[in-house]
């Protein structure tokens, strides 16, 4: 019996199907990208701008007084912004960029976390025709520097503390960085920085959105591969067609919803579904500054009357662990739809959702490169717990084998192969910034190769089966082993380094590094601890390894490449056979 056969199906009632934005089987919907293009406005003079679809069009249509953003501060603060407020603030931010002499194409980076300034900077930048690049606030100085350098940042929006620790020490090496805007400036800013609040207060709030075309670059999202530096995935304004449509069809969003996407805006989910999709669908989107806390989350769901909730397996695992008594104390009856993304969601968690919270978690799949959800369990569809669901209408997905230059679709049920997508959806990444060869390597024989392994069952549901490469997923964040290894190699004691993911009850996977030492270095606990501290300081908690093991040597191929997969197999006691039979993309 295969995994799919052994799982129960959670059937949807006729009423649930009928009420969903996409009733029934997605494959039968008749929707495609030309339908979805009609769901957005476009700019008055032609062209598309994401911020127009997210904010200005609602104001123009008389919905300016609707609540757009509800922010919960870490310490109990609560602030709301209507669509009118967001229009004014984003206009002002765009105007400030222009007043500072920045034009179309300006690259604005944000290192901020879950605060309204991130949302305002993102949308204001896009209004000005610029490119917004969010950075995860738990990154240490090295990942920040690598991404801002590759992305040739022109503006950074951040806090005084993060600037001082993560940027100021190397700023002089990045001449493209013309302005640093500090959100907590208090009149005594470090040299070369601007107090954002004061600057905005002196800036007019009228702005005409730049005339951006569908193919103009709007967003830059960094991701990681097995080798090389972080990759800057380029997304364009046309992506909003996919953000909006998937928000409506997959997350079942509709005006009046209170929607909570728990992802950090430093990652792609926090932008596509933490900013763009909710606002284009004219819902009230929540943003909670605090870190995960089970009691706080249940309180928030109840008090804020959240109707649609989009979260991730790491958080769901923690909620399951916190027990069933806690949610039983809360009235969660306003919740209509719950979805999950980013890592494999086990069947038990899906079923737990239905039994304890009243709804199954609807898993869906996508990645930085796809820009938007590609495979999903839709609200109106039966859910097979453990499955990622079915492709979005308009997306052609296949399980394939790669045979040299040929890509061969595998049509048998539950056959494992690489998940491939037919290029052409609007939110598809258009480049890895400055890395044409790496981009080209993702496409073959008319397919985009996702780097994930999956299976499809007889009913057309897709099942995640693992990665085809060595990237690590920790607490939903993709980590490139080379970034960790490069940091360890900077330490004078280290000769070689290899980083792998090992299972972790909480985060799914955590990073474990193996190193060999240079001549004369003495292995031992003290050195391992020093290496851990070194990595943590430079990489930040999100990327740093949890363990560093010193070895006399590391397994290698005949050509001398370190075999991370063999290290992993040995570490986890897995068979060492079929470790590299599937080809990797960039
Ligand atoms: P990122 O580009 O950081 O969003 O990471 C994308 C990767 O996360 C995918 O290529 C998958 O390996 C993994 N992923 C995303 N969604 C799911 C899911 N629903 N089930 C399993 N893995 C997922």
The string of pLDDT tens digits covering residues 113-143 is: 999 999 999 999 999 999 999 999 999 999 9
- What pLDDT is stored for residue 116 in this prediction? 98
Pocket test for ligand 1, best of 221, 224, 342, 420 (most atoms within 8 A of CB): 342
List pLDDT tens digits, range 472-515: 999 989 999 999 998 999 999 998 999 999 999 999 999 999 99
Average pLDDT over residues 98-113: 97
Name the pLDDT band for 3 (thresholds 50, 70, 90). low
Cα-to-centroid distance, 478 and ligand 1 (Å)? 8
Q: Which residues of 63-81 are buried (b: 16+ CB within 10 A; e: fewer)?
A: ebebebbbbbeeeeeeeeb
The rounded distance, in Å, linking the Cα atoms of 53 and 281 is: 9
Task: Please choose, from the candidates 461, 432, 455, the residue with its C-alpha nearest in 3D space to the C-alpha of residue 585.
Answer: 432
- For the CA of 267, the closest atom of ligand 1 is 3
pLDDT at 568 over 60: yes
Provide the percentage of residues in the chain whose pLDDT is more than 70: 97
Cα-to-centroid distance, 281 and ligand 1 (Å)? 24
Cα-to-centroid distance, 367 and ligand 1 (Å)? 5
List pLDDT tens digits, range 76-104: 999 999 999 999 999 999 999 999 999 99
Q: Ligand 1: which residue has its CA nearest to atom 7?
A: 367
Average pLDDT over residues 343-354: 94
Q: Ligand 1: which residue has its CA nearest to atom 4?
A: 367
pLDDT at 586 over 60: no
List pLDDT tens digits, range 416-434: 999 999 999 999 999 999 9
- What pLDDT is stored for residue 188 in this prediction? 72
Q: Are 501 and 510 in contact (CB under 8 A)?
A: yes
Phi, psi (degrees; rounded to nearest 5) at 418: -85, 140
pLDDT at 4 over 70: no
Q: Which two tokens stand for residue 205?
A: 């709030």
- What pLDDT is stored for residue 585 in this prediction? 39
Q: Which two tokens stand for residue 10?
A: 């959670």
Cα-to-centroid distance, 502 and ligand 1 (Å)? 17
What interhelical angle do 116-127 and 83-99 show, nearest 10? 60
- What pLDDT is stored for residue 189 in this prediction? 75
- Neighbouring residues of 519: CB distance < 8 A, sequence distance ≥ 6: none
Helices (H), ranges, 324-453: 325-328, 347-352, 436-440
- What pLDDT is stored for residue 538 in this prediction? 95
- What pLDDT is stored for residue 518 in this prediction? 92
Residues in contact with ligand 1 (CB, 6 Å cut-off): 223, 268, 341-344, 363-365, 367-368, 388, 450-452, 464, 467, 473, 478
Q: Are 239 and 372 in contact (CB under 8 A)?
A: yes
List pLDDT tens digits, range 30-64: 899 999 999 999 998 889 999 999 999 999 999 99
Q: Ligand 1: which residue has its CA nearest to atom 20?
A: 344
Q: Say whether 136 sits in a helix, a strand or coil.
A: coil
Q: Which two tokens stand for residue 131?
A: 């490119």
The rounded distance, in Å, linking the Cα atoms of 564 and 568 is: 6
> What residues are paired with 310 via a beta bridge?
261, 339
Pocket test for ligand 1, best of 235, 377, 429, 464 (most atoms within 8 A of CB): 464
In Å, what is the CA distance from 303 to each residue of 253, 297, 580? 20, 10, 50
Average pLDDT, the chain: 94
pLDDT at 558 over 80: no
The rounded distance, in Å, linking the Cα atoms of 339 and 376 is: 9
Cα-to-centroid distance, 228 and ligand 1 (Å)? 20
- For the CA of 364, the closest atom of ligand 1 is 19
pLDDT at 578 over 80: no
Burial class (CB in 10 A: 0-12, 13-18, 19+), 119: buried
Average pLDDT over residues 531-556: 94
Cα-to-centroid distance, 366 and ligand 1 (Å)? 6
Q: Ligand 1: which residue has its CA nearest to atom 23?
A: 343
Q: Say whether 436 sits in a helix, a strand or coil.
A: helix
List pLDDT tens digits, range 246-268: 999 999 999 999 999 999 999 99
pLDDT at 353 over 90: yes
Q: Tell me the residue length of the chain.
A: 586
Pocket test for ligand 1, best of 265, 473, 507 (most atoms within 8 A of CB): 473
- What pLDDT is stored for residue 584 in this prediction? 37
Cα-to-centroid distance, 98 and ligand 1 (Å)? 37
pLDDT at 195 over 70: yes
Q: Are 468 and 269 in contact (CB under 8 A)?
A: no
The rounded distance, in Å, linking the Cα atoms of 486 and 496 is: 9
Cα-to-centroid distance, 464 and ligand 1 (Å)? 9
More confident residue, 556 or 179: 179
The rounded distance, in Å, linking the Cα atoms of 437 and 586 is: 9
- What pLDDT is stored for residue 45 in this prediction? 83
- For the CA of 340, the closest atom of ligand 1 is 19
Phi, psi (degrees; rounded to nearest 5) at 558: -60, -30
List pLDDT tens digits, range 13-27: 999 999 999 998 898
Number of H helices, E strands in the chain: 21, 28
Domains within the chain, CATH numbers bracketed = 471-572 (3.30.300.30)
The rounded distance, in Å, linking the Cα atoms of 532 and 552 is: 18
> How much is the pTM?
0.93
Burial class (CB in 10 A: 0-12, 13-18, 19+), 184: middle
Pocket test for ligand 1, best of 370, 452, 454, 509 (most atoms within 8 A of CB): 452
Q: Ligand 1: which residue has its CA nearest to atom 8?
A: 342
Cα-to-centroid distance, 364 and ligand 1 (Å)? 9
Provide the percentage of residues in the chain whose pLDDT is more than 90: 88
pLDDT at 5 over 90: no
């Amino acid at each position: 019996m295969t995994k799919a056969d052994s799982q129960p199906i959670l059937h949807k009632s006729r009423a649930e199907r009928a009420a969903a934005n996409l009733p029934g089987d997605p494959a039968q919907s008749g929707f495609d990208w030309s339908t979805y293009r009609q769901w957005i406005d476009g700019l008055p003079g032609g062209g598309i701008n994401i911020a127009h679809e997210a904010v200005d069009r609602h104001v123009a249509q008389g919905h300016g007084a609707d609540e757009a953003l509800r922010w919960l501060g870490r310490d109990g603060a609560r602030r709301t912004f209507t669509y009118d407020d967001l229009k004014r603030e984003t206009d002002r931010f765009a105007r400030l960029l222009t007043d500072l002499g920045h034009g179309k194409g300006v690259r604005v980076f944000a290192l901020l976390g879950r605060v309204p300034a991130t949302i305002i900077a993102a949308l204001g930048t896009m209004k000005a025709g610029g490119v917004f690049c969010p950075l995860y606030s738990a990154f240490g100085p090295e990942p920040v520097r690598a991404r801002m350098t590759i992305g040739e940042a022109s503006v950074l929006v951040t806090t005084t503390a993060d600037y001082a620790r993560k940027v100021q020490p190397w700023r002089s090496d990045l001449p493209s960085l013309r302005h640093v805007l500090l959100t907590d400036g208090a009149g005594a800013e470090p040299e070369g920085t601007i107090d954002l609040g004061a600057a905005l207060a002196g800036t007019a709030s009228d702005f005409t959105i730049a005339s951006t075309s569908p193919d103009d670059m709007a967003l830059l999202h960094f991701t990681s591969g097995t080798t090389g530096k972080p990759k800057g995935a380029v997304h364009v304004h046309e992506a909003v067609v996919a953000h909006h449509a998937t928000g409506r069809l997959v997350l079942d969003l509709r005006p009046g919803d209170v929607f909570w996407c728990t992802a950090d805006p430093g990652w792609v989910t926090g932008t596509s579904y933490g900013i763009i999709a909710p606002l284009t669908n004219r819902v009230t989107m929540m943003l909670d500054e605090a870190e995960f806390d089970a009691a706080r989350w249940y309180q928030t769901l109840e008090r804020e009357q959240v109707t649609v909730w989009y979260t991730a397996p790491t958080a769901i695992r923690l909620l399951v662990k916190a027990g069933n008594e806690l949610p039983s104390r809360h009235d969660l009856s306003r919740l209509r739809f719950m979805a999950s993304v980013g890592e494999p969601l086990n069947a038990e968690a899906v079923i737990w959702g239905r039994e304890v919270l009243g709804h199954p978690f609807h898993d869906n799949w996508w990645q930085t490169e796809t820009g938007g959800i590609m495979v999903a369990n839709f609200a109106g569809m039966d859910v097979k717990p453990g499955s990622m669901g079915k492709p979005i209408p308009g997306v052609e997905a296949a399980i394939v084998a790669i045979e040299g230059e040929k890509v061969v679709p595998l049509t048998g049920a539950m056959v494992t192969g690489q998940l491939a997508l037919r290029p052409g959806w609007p939110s598809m990444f258009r480049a890895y910034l400055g890395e044409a060869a790496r981009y080209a390597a993702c496409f073959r024989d008319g397919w985009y190769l996702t780097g994930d392994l999956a299976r499809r069952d007889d009913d057309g549901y897709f099942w995640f089966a693992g990665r085809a490469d060595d990237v690590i997923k920790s607490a939903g964040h993709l980590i490139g082993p080379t970034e960790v290894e490069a940091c360890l190699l900077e330490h004078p004691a280290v000769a070689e380094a290899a980083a792998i993911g090992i299972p972790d009850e909480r985060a799914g996977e955590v990073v474990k590094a193996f190193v060999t030492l240079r001549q004369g270095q003495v292995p031992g606990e003290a050195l391992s601890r020093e290496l851990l501290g070194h990595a943590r300081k430079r990489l930040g908690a999100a990327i740093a390894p949890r363990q560093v093991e010193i070895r006399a040597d590391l397994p290698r191929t005949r050509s001398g490449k370190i075999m991370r997969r063999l290290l992993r197999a040995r570490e986890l006691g897995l068979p060492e056979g079929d470790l590299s039979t599937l080809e990797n993309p960039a």
